[in-house]
Amino acid sequence: MEQPERTPKAPRRLLWVVGVVAVLVVAAVVTTAVVVLNRVTDPPAPAALPRDTVPVPLGERELCGLRVLMAVGADADMTTAAQALRDDPKARRVFTETKAQAYQRFKKIFADRPELLELTTPDTLPAAVHVVPVAGTDVEGWANELRQRFPDAEKVDVLDPARIAAQMTTTPPPCPPSGER
């Protein structure tokens, strides 16, 4: 009796190896496509804005971005706090406002409310330091640190214009990346 001819095992192994290589090639192509498409479709990360922490008067500037406001009792306390914040690595910009400057701004804002103007004097308003954070700063955590660091401050608040704008009936103009207009 004659035995049937057996097929060699080599072609089966060759098919198996070719199949595994094909799967690996497809996986590599898909992975590369996903990486490339993510780079194309993701918006670029905003460029880090330069730090300039030399304290400057707030003046006519309108700060529209996220910031920390530190209110202090006297102009001298404001100057001391502003100089200390100059070296804080979380500070990107430091703005100061004396009691007299705060009063001038208050008069402009509430020009149509004479009853408020009669009740307010420069001494009733605090001096203030406005600090714009470096991008990526946990501003709430930083405000807590500043409350500990400056226990004599009347208040340290996070001012988030986006949160305020969400409560408004009108939409304010967009704020540039610098945080000021």
The closest of 54, 77, 62, 7 to 178, measured between CA atoms, is: 62
Q: How far apart are CA 114 and CA 98, in angstroms?
A: 22
Contact 87, 78 (CB under 8 A): no
> Which of the pair, 50 or 129, is modelled with greater confidence?
129
109, 120 contact by CB (below 8 A): no
Lowest mean pLDDT among 49-53, 122-126, 152-156: 49-53
Tokens matching residue 119: 């009740």
Lowest mean pLDDT among 11-15, 38-42, 162-166: 38-42
Q: For the whole model, what pTM was predicted?
A: 0.68
Q: What are phi and psi of 71, to 5 degrees?
A: -95, 130
Is residue 52 predicted with pLDDT exceeding 70? Answer: yes
Segment 11-23, tens digit of pLDDT? 777 777 777 777 7
Edge-first strand order for the sheet with 67-72 is 52-57, 91-97, 127-133, 67-72, 155-159
Residue, of 125 and 7, whose pLDDT is higher: 125
